Amino acid sequence: MRTVLAFVAVIVLTGCTNMRRLERGKPIRSESASGILRKHLATNAKPQWAAMRMQVETDLNGNKSSFKVNARMCRDSAIWLSITPALGVEAARIVLTRDSVRFLSKVPGNKFGYMGNYAAFDSLLGTSFTYDMAQRTLMGEGINLIDEDSKYISKVDGREHLLINKYKRRVRRLVGVKEKEINPGDSLSMGASLEVQERVFSRSSDEDLLVKRFWFDGLGYQLTRTRFDDLYHNRSVEIGHGSFEPEAGGWIPHRTELIIASPTSNQKIGLEILRARYGKPYPMPFEIPKDFEIRNGL
């Protein structure tokens, strides 16, 4: 108990120091990557159950839509989504588990069911998608933030801390810059010749050529922004979080925006939590009617 109280006291004192620096027009104080990660993890809410009513705005290559989503989540197990457009009638239902996707379209003239894996989303979103990504995006947690291969350098970006993963020499050959020299707003691109690119790609996996950046609030240490530059597939993924509320023993963002960009596509999804409840189990009904077509893809 004393250890927990001491850790909370450190976070509060650090926040007060940075508040005074910001009031004087100075940037926040630089901290170690390990210290930032410890303080951030202490802000995470980890409810076993969650139920949310959300407003969703999408822009998928210029095709815009807006709808409501009722979401239910059992942590590390399943996410249930009921999609309702403006008329108030359920149009689709989705159940995500760690290794499967179930989808039910109730749209007149396009009624069908799908039971398969996450590969069905790849072409729709322009990137690979997993259960872990969905859960962490909803809860404001860092995707691939903590793993055995990731080491970070720490920088200050205005009133936020920025962590950039240390990457291999082959990445520096492609982008022409070391991780310490990346400016916070840089959009990484490949400056190497085609010959060098082909040689690096032949010796690398997609994980080898991934540059990760994470921004954390300098006062509360909530994760405010994530950016992945995927040099192997020539695309970027950016996730922004805001409007944090103290709920379920931590901080949960009530606004989230996801942007997936490549030379041939641009996908944007915005989420706003209108209301939420935590801690209570909810049913996740899903059944494909017998008269619905069963498809192999979405």
Euclidean distance between CA atoms 255 and 275, whole angstroms: 12
**Is 51 in contact with 80 (CB distance < 8 Å)?**
no
Question: Is 50 exceeded by the pLDDT of residue 64?
Answer: yes
List Cβ neighbours of 91 (8 Å cut-off, separation of 6 or more): 67, 83, 84, 85, 105, 106, 107
pTM here is 0.87
List Cβ neighbours of 25 (8 Å cut-off, separation of 6 or more): none
Question: Is 80 exceeded by the pLDDT of residue 297?
Answer: no
Kindly report the number of other CB atoms within 10 A of residue 274's CB atom: 11
Q: Where are the alpha helices (DSSP H) in 130-193?
A: 131-139, 169-175
| DSSP per-residue string spanning 126-146 | TS---HHHHHHHHHTPPTT-S
Q: Strands 110-116, 92-97: parallel, antiparallel or unpaired by DSSP?
A: unpaired
Query: pLDDT for 235-271, tens place per residue?
Result: 899 999 999 999 999 999 999 999 999 888 899 999 9
Task: Read off the pLDDT band of 184 (50, 70, 90).
Answer: confident
Burial 148-164 (b: 16+ CB within 10 A, else e): eebebebbbbeebbbbb
Euclidean distance between CA atoms 240 and 225, whole angstroms: 4
Residue that has been written with the tokens 């409501």 in this structure: 68
Q: Which of 77-81, 115-119, 182-186 has the lowest mean pLDDT?
A: 182-186
Calculate mean pLDDT across residues 73-92: 93
| DSSP per-residue string spanning 18-38 | HHHHHHTTPPPPP--HHHHHH
Question: Is 60 exceeded by the pLDDT of residue 10?
Answer: no
209 vs 20, which has greater pLDDT?
209
What value does the mean pLDDT of the chain take? 87
Q: Amino acid identity of 95?
A: V
| DSSP per-residue string spanning 65-112 | EEEEEEEEEETTTEEEEEEE-TTSS--EEEEEESS-EEEEEEETTEEE
Calculate mean pLDDT across residues 34-56: 96
Question: Is 60 exceeded by the pLDDT of residue 172?
Answer: yes
pLDDT for position 234:
86
Report the DSSP beta bridge partners of residue 116.
Answer: 101
Q: How many domains does the chain fold into? A: 1
Domain of 150: which CATH number? 2.50.20.10
Euclidean distance between CA atoms 258 and 279, whole angstroms: 26
Residue that has been written with the tokens 């989420």 in this structure: 271
Give 23's Cβ-side CA count (13 Å radius).
7
Domain range for 89: 1-298
